Structure 1
Amino acid sequence: MAFIEFRLQWDGRINRQDVAAKFDISLNQATHDLVRYKRLAPTNIRYDLSERAYLRSHDFAPRYDITGVAGYLDQLEAASKGTSRDGAFWIGRWPAFEVLPAPTGEIGLDVLRAVVASILANEPIDVLQQTSDELAPTWCTLLPHALVHDGERWCVRAFSCCAGGYETTPLARIGSFRAATAAIGPAQADADWNTMLSLEIGPNPALPAAAREVVARDYGMEDGKSILQVRHALVGSLLRRLGITEIPTEHAKLVLLNPEALGLLGEHA
């Protein structure tokens, strides 16, 4: 049902061949599915004899979240990463589009699999990781508990025996792994991970009024601000990604409206 609605929403039309080809079903079954959707949402779909297809009605109102803006743009972004457009996506007619590439380090399949297994089993693992303190990679025992995407790269959140506390480590820095050579007792709770903060961001008041309005629309603000829920451990990554500094420059787009939520910015940046 969601696929039918997706095609109506974004292509404006669908026929039984589309449904049959997508799900490898008979034309009769595809017709049955289209009739079912028409019963479910009669004001969304109409059959056009001349087109020999079902068309989006003028009173179309989507019922499934996946057929909305985020669902469509997510498919464009996924397609930009080289995934074949055959079979994996619901888009029928592709618009011209471009997504800017971002440099990312390679994450080893075996490394990710081992880290995921360690998280699921709540067991430590030794990793050979590159750090900014040593020229050569060094071994360290980690007790990972979560995967993290910081807006730019995938990381692992773990208790680190080397650091004597919790760290967020980019997975691309891990070159190899082995069974843990050191036992780790029950680690203290990851307080920075468990603490959620509400950060209020708004347009830089130093910007002209028109520019502030543009920023507000770009970032989906209401009443001049957006409220973001973020883990304390990830505050620094979020602020860097948004270009928010303790003392904003006159050209900065965004500012933090409630710095008291996290104390001194410098401690978390």
Structure 2
Amino acid sequence: MLSINQDKRLWFIELIAWWEGRITSSHLIRQFGISRTQAQNDIAHYQSLLPDNLQYHASHKGFLPQQGFVKTYINGDVVEYLNWISHQDAITDISTALPYTTLALPKRQVSADIIRVLVCAIRQQRRVEVDYVSVTNPDRQGRIIVPHHFVSTGLRWHLRAFCEKSQQYRDFVLSRFRGQPDLLNKTDISAAKDIGWHTQLSLTFKPDPRLSPAQQDVIAQDYQMQRGQLSLQTRACLAQYLLQEMQVNIRDINISPEAQQLVLSNIDAVKPWLFEEKS
């Protein structure tokens, strides 16, 4: 019988091989802090259990998934891989868990084939030709992008990428890619020149002043505010998403204070980074 740690490592081997197209002992060493010998033994053990899934390729210096790969330890859901990226535990020890439940939020359809190509493009710093739709442009539009990060905004996942069409770094909703993307050549374009990504912005929140002093105190205690304020750091290009997560609307002042609860104190500093304010 496998231990929980061994089972986690087999899950990890399968996860990386399936989604990233290559697994090495170095992946396991970095993830679990184990010795190289143990990592090699884990891969060998996985191969003994599922001999047709992985094959070593000297040219790639690693084990690659084979045709007919059978997913045994992973469920193959895109969310499983994205949760691992965001450092959420995809496998947990339930022996010490307390009873809890979660909201049944809607899943956004994201193609596994699209994700695998985007992962490869990020790892290898390559251009990708994609078809993309949006509410503004519901018809497919071809674009060439250079992705550099996946971004979780709470309810959905985005891709941060340089768009050659607009000549800007932009966010793309993962569920809005269509068809099969084409992996192109390597490029010098990278996250290094993404000003919005590297600019740190502080958003300062306070209780809605329309609330009574007692109500404001409740909100201040909720967020452990210091001197009646809560400051949150974020990348400038993600400021809009943070406002949405905090349920703060800086444009509609008619929302009831009991519903909004918080207001943004430093609007002038934040506004230039919001979508509607940018050209």
Asked if these proteins are the same fold (TM beyond 0.5), I'd say yes
Q: What's the CA shift string for 1:67-106, capped at 9, x where partnerless?
A: xxxxxxxxxxx9xx9xxxxx93223254432211222312
TM-score norm. by structure 2 comes to: 0.59
CA–CA distance in 2 between the matches of 1:23 and 1:234? 35
1:257 to 248, 256, 265: 265
| CA 182–139 in structure 1, closer or farther in 2 if over 3 Å, else same | farther
Residue in structure 1 matched with residue 248 of structure 2 by the alignment: 244
Q: Is the 8 A contact 2:108 2:175 kept in 1?
A: yes
Rounded Cα–Cα distance in structure 1 between residues aligned with 2:173 and 2:96: 37
Structure 1: any 5+ residue segments left out of the alignment? 1-19, 25-77, 82-86
Q: Which residue of 2 aligns with 1:230?
A: 234
Query: What 5-or-longer segments of structure 2 have no aligned partner?
Result: 7-79, 84-89
1:168 aligns with 2:168: no
What is the letter of the counterpart of residue 218 of structure 1? D
Q: Distance in 1 between matches of 2:139 and 2:271?
A: 36
1:21-170 equivalences under 5 Å are: 22=4, 88-92=91-95, 94-170=97-173
Given residue 238 of structure 1, which amino acid in structure 2 is its aligned partner? L
> Identity rate of aligned residues, in percent?
26
Give the distance between the partners of 1:263 and 1:155, measured in 2 at CA. 21
Please give the secondary structure, in 2, of the residue aligned with 1:158: strand
Aligned to 1:42: none
Deviating beyond 3 angstroms after TM superposition, the runs of 4 or more aligned structure 1 residues are 20-24, 93-96, 180-188, 247-250, 263-266
Structure with the larger helix share: 2
1:199 to partner: Cα distance: 1.1
The 3 A distance-change label for structure 1 pair 190 and 211 is: same
Q: Give the superposed CA RMSD.
A: 3.0
Between the two proteins, the alignment pairs up a number of residues equal to 189
Aligned residue in 1 for 2:195:
191
- Once the two structures are TM-superposed, the CA of residue 155 in structure 1 deviates from its matched residue by 0.9
